Amino acid sequence: MNFRRLSAYKTPSEFQEQQKNLQIEIPIHVEQLEAQKALLSKPLPLRERTIKERTIGNRFAVLPMEGWDGTTDGRPTELTKARWRHFGQSTAKLIWGGEAVAVRPDGRANPNQLMISPDTMTDLEELKQILSKAHEEACGQTDDLYIGLQLTHSGRFARPYNKNKLESKILYNHPLLDNKFQLGEHHPILSDSEIDDLIGDFIIAAKRAAELGFDFVDIKHCHGYLGHEFLSAVDRPGKYGGSLENRMRFLSSIVAGIRSEAPQLDVGVRLSSADLLPFVKGENNLGEMATWPPQTPNSESLKGGISSNLEKQEQTEYRYAFGGNNHGSGFDLSEPIAFLQACVKLGISLVCLSLGCPYYNPHLTRPAMFPPSDGYLPPEDPLVGVARHINIAKSLKQMVPSLLMVGSGYSYLQEWLPQVAASVLQLGWIDSVGLGRMMLSYPQFPSDFLAGRELQRKKICRTFSDCTTAPRNGMVSGCYPLDPEYKNRPEMIELAKIKSKK
């Protein structure tokens, strides 16, 4: 399917016309550059929301972006340091977690993921210092810079010791994903006491992050990783499954532990606030939703059929999409709203909203024109994906206004990003605009924009997805098409071969 490239829309009315065609709403009413700048540079007070009385200096946030480039004992390499330096140089004042950092070895999404442990403390401290120093050099002050560390266990998507070997830790048998990822019928399920231990590991990790001077930790609940899987553990018996209160017990126990062990540390949560059924490659490699319920026990609808679990249950409802309707085909935000209201009660100060899971519906998480090698051709104009992020965030912000909310999924907007960002900020649909892939191709995007310099078009992320294709094929991530540091790396040849085979 061919979609018109965004750069082809030269005027707001052309852009609006396309929105009408697509039946979406992405606000772009703040047209004047000065007005956009004023909105994006407006400080964001943290007072009354968090433990520390602080102000975040502007409305740009750096989303967590890992590089699959740490050492196998969880330390940063020069590539990792360069990325964090760029985050600091960007002049964005909220650093949402830096990147996913595993709380213990078996929780790594890949053998090169960072870890927080007694052995890596000095390295993580250096990483934070690199970022702060670069930030100070770029804009002269760091007292309004707010830095978090994203703590994770990768759960179902853990590949801790071998890039090619999933060593999933699961909370329940998923009727589709167990087969898609070939877990086998007897794959063990984490027991309640193993979860109790893991909670302890998160609390220790948070305490370490506080010692390193991070302002907050993000207890990651997005993208199919363990925290997110809790939220769909509707069938799991016992204290961690079933009711929403039970599915949030992992989070609430960690927060209680942090309150007692590191009372000065703020807590945030990155949430996949809504989800759909997994997608599969359909005709002509186009993404399409997996059939639910599958037509026959041997259905090929999800490459590998369905699990015996499903055969036994003869289910018709799809209950495993947190924030999804009962068919997995649309959204019902009542549980995400209840989750966020519970976060307020727990004293959680800020949330970063994302969607879906990059392993089974990547177009939800990262609207893109070009798919990664393990993806599918976009089933919709990527603008629809951006509008979904913006409008779900709007609904959540309206229902839980006291939580500070950071949005995701804006990189696809390219040249239109500042105008949309300023408009959603003005409308109060979000408090801070997160940048992910744009940070890899063009980390100076916020600084150029806020300083009134013309945007450098050749650096703007065009969502080629090489930053995902590379790690999916065992290579470090980065912006291969646009960042000269990556363009000239040997991996570029391998990447070109992989792409030519598609």
Ligand X SMILES: Cc1cc2nc3c(=O)[nH]c(=O)nc-3n(C[C@H](O)[C@H](O)[C@H](O)COP(=O)(O)O)c2cc1C
Q: Applying CB under 6 A, which residues contact ligand X?
A: 63-66, 99-100, 150, 222-223, 270, 354, 365-366, 408-412, 435-438, 467-468, 477
Amino acid at 211: E
Q: Which is nearer to ligand X, 19 or 80 (CB)?
A: 80
Query: Minimum CB separation from ligand X for residue 471, in Å?
Result: 7
Shortest Cβ distance from residue 389 to ligand X (Å)?
8
Closer of 64 and 446 to ligand X (Cβ): 64
Q: How far is the CB of 87 from ligand X (least distance, A)?
A: 12
Helix (H) or strand (E) holding 149: strand 146-152
- C-beta closer to ligand X: residue 209 or 435: 435
Instruction: Please give the structure tokens belonging to residue 341.
Output: 């209201």
Name which of 111 and 409 has its Cβ closer to ligand X. 409
- For residues 59 and 432, is the Cβ–Cβ distance under 8 A? yes
Q: What is the sign of the dihedral through the CA atoms of 98, 102, 108 and 109? A: negative
- Nearer residue to ligand X within complex by CB, 99 or 229: 99
Least separation in angstroms between residue 100's CB and ligand X is 4
CB distance 290 to 370 below 8 Å: no
Instruction: Give, in order, the Cα–Cα distances in Å from 380 to each of 30, 119, 384.
Output: 26, 46, 7
> Which CB atom, from 54 or from 223, has the smaller least distance to ligand X?
223
CB of 287 to ligand X, least distance (A): 17
Give min distance, CB of 390 to ligand X, in A: 11
Neighbours of 184 (CB within 10 A): 9
Tokens standing for residue 106: 């078996």
Q: How far is the CB of 75 from ligand X (least distance, A)?
A: 16
Q: Which is nearer to ligand X, 216 or 410 (CB)?
A: 410
Q: What CA–CA distance (Å, rounded) separates 266 from 258?
A: 9
Residue 408 C-beta: closest distance to ligand X, Å = 4
CA distance 245 to 490: 49
CB nearest ligand X: which residue? 436
Which of residues 58 and 477 has its CB atom nearest to ligand X in the complex?
477
3-state SS of 451-472 is CCCCCCHHHCCCCCCHHHHHHH
Q: How far is the CB of 317 from ligand X (least distance, A)?
A: 28
What is the amino acid identity at position 438? M
Residue placing its CB nearer to ligand X in the complex, 208 or 462: 462
323-329, Cβ contacts within 8 angstroms, sequence gap of 24 or more? 323/272, 323/273, 323/274, 323/275, 323/392, 324/274, 324/275, 324/276, 324/277, 327/277, 327/292, 328/276, 328/277, 328/289, 328/292, 329/276, 329/277, 329/289, 329/292
SS3 193: helix
Asked if residues 276 and 329 have their Cβ atoms less than 8 Å apart, the reply is: yes
Q: Which is nearer to ligand X, 117 or 365 (CB)?
A: 365
- Looking at the DSSP bridge assignments, the partners of residue 324 are 331
Give min distance, CB of 266 to ligand X, in A: 17
Please report where in the chains the tokens 């949005």 appear, as a residue: 407
Residue 423 in 3-state DSSP?
A: helix
